[in-house]
Structure 1
Amino acid sequence: MNAIAAPLVVPRRTTVVVTCILAALAGLMFGLDIGVISGATPFIQKEFGISDRMVEWIVSSMMLGAAIGALGAGWLSATLGRKRSLILGGVLFVLGSLLCSLAWSPDSLIAARVVLGLAIGVATFTAPLYLAEVAPEKTRGAMISLYQLMITSGILVAFLSDTALSYSGNWRWMLGIIAIPGVLFLLGLFLLPCSPRWLMMRGRRDEAVEVLRRLRGDDDHVAREVADIEEQLKNPQRGWHMFFQNANFRRSVGLGVLLQVVQQFTGMNVVMYYAPRIFQGMGYDTEAQMWFTAVVGLVNVLATFIAFGLVDRLGRKPILYAGFATMALGLGVVGTMMHLGIATHGEQLFTVAMLLVFIAGFAMSAGPLIWTLCSEVQPLKGRDFGIAVSTFTNWVANMIVGATFLSLLNGIGDARTFWLYAGLNGVFLVFTFWLVPETRGVTLEQIERNLMAGKRLRRIGR
């Protein structure tokens, strides 16, 4: 423990660079874990001779572990510290990846993916928190944006890795190879300092000041930041108390929960987890399924830049309107093509193109913006609680989607399944109009004042 508590003395510029690498690897691991199972499931199903229902359990077991990990991550990060929590997450990630590659039965694979999920649940809560507390002010936004971008990049890398390994059908390598970035993530963590905010929360002010001196290099800046942290700590988190005592806070928590349910029921992760199966339904062979899955990952990455470029120019709601409409159109056309029958190569390509339109619609809107809104609508004293509840809801909804898609395909058919998700995206347009506030250019303090004054949720951003 002492070795962890006393980090290596690293020059300031090196610390900032390694922090950037941490942001990249934390997001990359998250994305890798989402994407890697997609290409592996056809080969797992063939080797073990399992049903679609068991495949759903294998896919969704990771989300179960992530929900549990996210639920305990707040306590871990407060008790052990941000850095030690991330180290624990990194160890679990490497262990879970290796156990997946060595799985001897479907049940053992499910257990291994639960371990992997625990790691992801801890990391997805703690990594952005640590980065926000350690990164210099001038690069803080870039760090968080890099984290989000690397999630989509991790999905792409996983899809490309699966495609390369699909020729041999070696699903064990597909699942095990992501242990490599996990090890790099762990090595990077040992070079980093503890969070100065956490140190001050534990009464270790002198250590916090020393860490900030190494990170900032300017005594005046350090003094101002220490004073800011001390002022913030005078207002401790009171999430549980507020939730039971304040109806307006319950409204903001409820909105955060609904936003995460909406994000998952757009159907995006259905494509992420089952892309080869979807392309199989369009009539493509195994090789084409894998390459088109990689294209899905590429479009997901590229379209994410649209959100980065427009969110502070156009606002949250216009982009969400455009995204949900695009997703409803894309999935509606995909369902219609599957209903009519995909007979020619041109019809196949058109159907793929419309699925990619859906992917772009999500990546430019609900993907990044839901997380932004979830943090913006929570009042300061309940922000940790509100975001924790939102994160937990995200993983539970994610698990439900992953555990039901193949059953829907087998039960109501491909076309009706895609029409169902298209219809949900149409409903989400109405949800955005009635409940989602426009928060562009509005301070968090003003949003909180409007919320606590009892204004309607869609008006708290005014």
Structure 2
Amino acid sequence: MAEQTGTTPIGQTTNEDASIFDATRFKILAIGVIAALAGLMSGLDIGVVAGALDLFGKEYHASTFALEWVVSAMMAGAAVGAISAGRMSHSLGRKRSLILGAAIFVGGTIGCALSWSVPSMIFFRVIMGIAVGISAFTAPLYLSEIASEESRGAMVSTYQLMVTVGIFVAFLSDTYFSYSGNWRWMFGVAGIPAVLFLIGVLFLPYSPRWLMMQGRHKEARQILLDLRNDPLEASKEIRAIREQLETKQEGFKLFRTNPNFRRSVALGILLQAMQQLAGINIVMYYAPNILAAAHFDQHAQMWCTAIIGLVNMLATFVAVGLVDRWGRKPILYCGFSVMAVGMAVLGVLLNGGMHTQSSQIAAVFLLMIFCAGFAMSAGPLMWVLCSEIQPLGGRDFGIAVSTFTNWMTNLVVGVSFLSLMETFGTAGTFWLFAGLNALFLVLTILFVPETKGMSLHLIEDRLMKGVKLRHLGR
């Protein structure tokens, strides 16, 4: 019998190697879940107001204008949080920024639950918004810097998916507490995941990229060795980060001096404005009000809202699965077409009075179709495109501007919807949004590039050579 040796044949792995690999994967997964809880908290804060708004308004005899600001105060805070998060994540670091955001989530959640007046609710909604803005910028950035190259897309997509999960959970919570009419618990229940998020984020490692930006190379290398099961892979990643950091960010200077960069910034602004003006947040914030106009009773309003949130969550999986197969533009064509038709037909039904059960069922179905159209297209894809079209030297500036635009446009929609319904009627308001979605379909054809399968380097090269925006990609 041949003597056994302690070596392992090439191409095979030992049980010890396999266990190390599994432990590393579990560690990255755990880190990803904890960081992505920021998305869950953002979704909860976005969704909770749909169920609580009417109950809160009745208790404090709030006007339409006041209720619009209860909704929109969060977006104002989010705009402030997003615009300050870039500098904060650079100076404090990604981890400390997430800790700060989590702490603000806890404070804002408790404050909303204990609000004693309309002004106090608006104030704490602003606080919640600041946390949402910080998290919306920092969490995807942190996830992209912690994940391996193979898992980066899935890790970053997890944040957006968790936002939709949070909205759905908030709608379910609102439905449960609607039977007792307790709007304080609708807000307060979000404090539980907020505390868990705060505790969990304390144990996250620092971002290796941020550590290298601070000159702390040994710490960065140690964290990468801990997160990758291959020392060669960790060394390769360290070298890649060093090369990337040699490209200095000179966003505002580039914006002032380079007209081609101004084109990409303008496109980023357009993309985010199109996303918000498509009308998704009138459904997320005001679904019960819309269903009330369709003569649903209170509990039916809440259950239908929860079903709409479920469709919104499930349709996000479609976008993740199709974006690299179909391409960006075909999915956007489909999404804007579905949203335009859905809004237009819903307007027709609302204009007819909605007094039959069949018309009410059709209204819920159309809202579900609209949300599915958004969640599979403009919802996630605008973020993908905004990250792809900005040149490396101005990427931080370009993405910060487009993110700020997203929240400010969100604010405009939130603060005007109830007034639009009072001015133009429910049907007229939905026809307005149908027209906007038809316009966005045309704008997609004229200006949006197809970036499927294109390297960021090639997109940047074509942009800086003055190639038309819609021809930057394929």
Give the TM bin, normalised by the shorter chain.
over 0.9
State the Cα distance separating 1:302 from its structure 2 match. 1.4
Say if 2:463 is the partner of 1:451: yes
Residue 341 of structure 1 corresponds to which residue in structure 2?
Answer: 353
Residue 434 of structure 2 corresponds to which residue in structure 1?
Answer: 422
2: distance between equivalents of 1:190 and 1:14? 18
1: distance between equivalents of 2:107 and 2:35? 21
Superposition map of 1:146-295 within 5 A: 146-295=158-307
* AA aligned opposite 1:60: S
CA contact (8 A) 2:73 2:125 kept: yes
Say if 2:91 is the partner of 1:79: yes
2: distance between equivalents of 1:161 and 1:414? 27
How many residue pairs align between the two structures? 452
2: distance between equivalents of 1:263 and 1:164? 30
State the Cα distance separating 1:24 from its structure 2 match. 3.3
* AA aligned opposite 2:337: A
CA contact (8 A) 2:36 2:139 kept: no
| 1:153-178 per-position Cα deviation (integer Å, ceiling 9, x unaligned) | 11000000000010011101101111
* AA aligned opposite 1:424: L
CA contact (8 A) 1:438 1:458 kept: yes
Name the % identity: 58
* AA aligned opposite 1:22: I
* AA aligned opposite 1:445: H
2: distance between equivalents of 1:267 and 1:382? 30
* Residue segments in structure 1 that go unaligned for 5+ positions in a row: 1-10
Say if 2:381 is the partner of 1:369: yes
Q: Match for 1:15 among 27, 32, 55? A: 27
Q: Match for 2:117 among 78, 81, 105? A: 105
2: distance between equivalents of 1:316 and 1:330? 21
Residue 396 of structure 1 corresponds to which residue in structure 2?
Answer: 408
State the Cα distance separating 1:15 from its structure 2 match. 3.0
Q: Aligned to 2:150, what secondary structure does the other structure show?
A: helix
Q: Match for 1:119 among 123, 126, 131? A: 131
State the Cα distance separating 1:12 from its structure 2 match. 4.0
Deviates more, 1:426-435 or 1:136-145: 136-145
| 1:128-187 per-position Cα deviation (integer Å, ceiling 9, x unaligned) | 000100112222111112111111111000000000010011101101111111111111
Q: Match for 2:339 among 327, 337, 344? A: 327
Residue 40 of structure 1 corresponds to which residue in structure 2?
Answer: 52
1: distance between equivalents of 2:225 and 2:375? 38
Deviates more, 1:15-24 or 1:294-303: 15-24
* AA aligned opposite 1:415: A
| 1:77-109 per-position Cα deviation (integer Å, ceiling 9, x unaligned) | 000000000000000011000000010100000
Residue 329 of structure 2 corresponds to which residue in structure 1?
Answer: 317
Q: Match for 1:133 among 131, 136, 145? A: 145
Residue 143 of structure 1 corresponds to which residue in structure 2?
Answer: 155
CA contact (8 A) 1:434 1:458 kept: yes
Q: Aligned to 1:371, what secondary structure does the other structure show?
A: helix
CA contact (8 A) 2:35 2:201 kept: no
2: distance between equivalents of 1:117 and 1:183? 17
CA contact (8 A) 1:19 1:135 kept: no
1: distance between equivalents of 2:154 and 2:464? 31
Residue 355 of structure 1 corresponds to which residue in structure 2?
Answer: 367
2: distance between equivalents of 1:61 and 1:446? 40
CA contact (8 A) 2:24 2:228 kept: yes
Q: Match for 1:379 among 388, 391, 396? A: 391
* AA aligned opposite 2:304: F
CA contact (8 A) 2:327 2:450 kept: yes
2: distance between equivalents of 1:234 and 1:309? 34
Residue 5 of structure 1 corresponds to which residue in structure 2?
Answer: none
State the Cα distance separating 1:216 from its structure 2 match. 1.2
Residue 10 of structure 2 corresponds to which residue in structure 1?
Answer: none
Deviates more, 1:216-225 or 1:317-326: 216-225
* AA aligned opposite 2:196: L
CA contact (8 A) 1:23 1:146 kept: no
Alignment TM-score, normalising by the size of structure 2 = 0.94
Q: Match for 2:447 among 431, 435, 442? A: 435
1: distance between equivalents of 2:29 and 2:352? 53
Q: Match for 2:68 among 56, 80, 83? A: 56
Alignment TM-score, normalising by the size of structure 1 = 0.96
2: distance between equivalents of 1:363 and 1:105? 35
Q: 1:24 to 1:126 in 2, by over 3 A?
A: closer
Superposition map of 1:407-418 within 5 A: 407-418=419-430
State the Cα distance separating 1:14 from its structure 2 match. 5.0
The ranges of structure 1 where at least 4 consecutive aligned residues each deviate by more than 6 angstroms after the TM superposition are none
State the Cα distance separating 1:435 from its structure 2 match. 0.4
| 1:353-404 per-position Cα deviation (integer Å, ceiling 9, x unaligned) | 1121111111111001111101010011111111111111000000000000
CA contact (8 A) 1:321 1:429 kept: yes
1: distance between equivalents of 2:274 and 2:26? 40
Residue 7 of structure 1 corresponds to which residue in structure 2?
Answer: none
* AA aligned opposite 1:37: V
1: distance between equivalents of 2:131 and 2:430? 32
1: distance between equivalents of 2:254 and 2:361? 53
Say if 2:108 is the partner of 1:96: yes
CA contact (8 A) 1:18 1:188 kept: no
2: distance between equivalents of 1:343 and 1:209? 66
State the Cα distance separating 1:13 from its structure 2 match. 4.7
CA contact (8 A) 1:86 1:122 kept: yes
Largest Rg, 1 or 2: 2
Residue 405 of structure 1 corresponds to which residue in structure 2?
Answer: 417
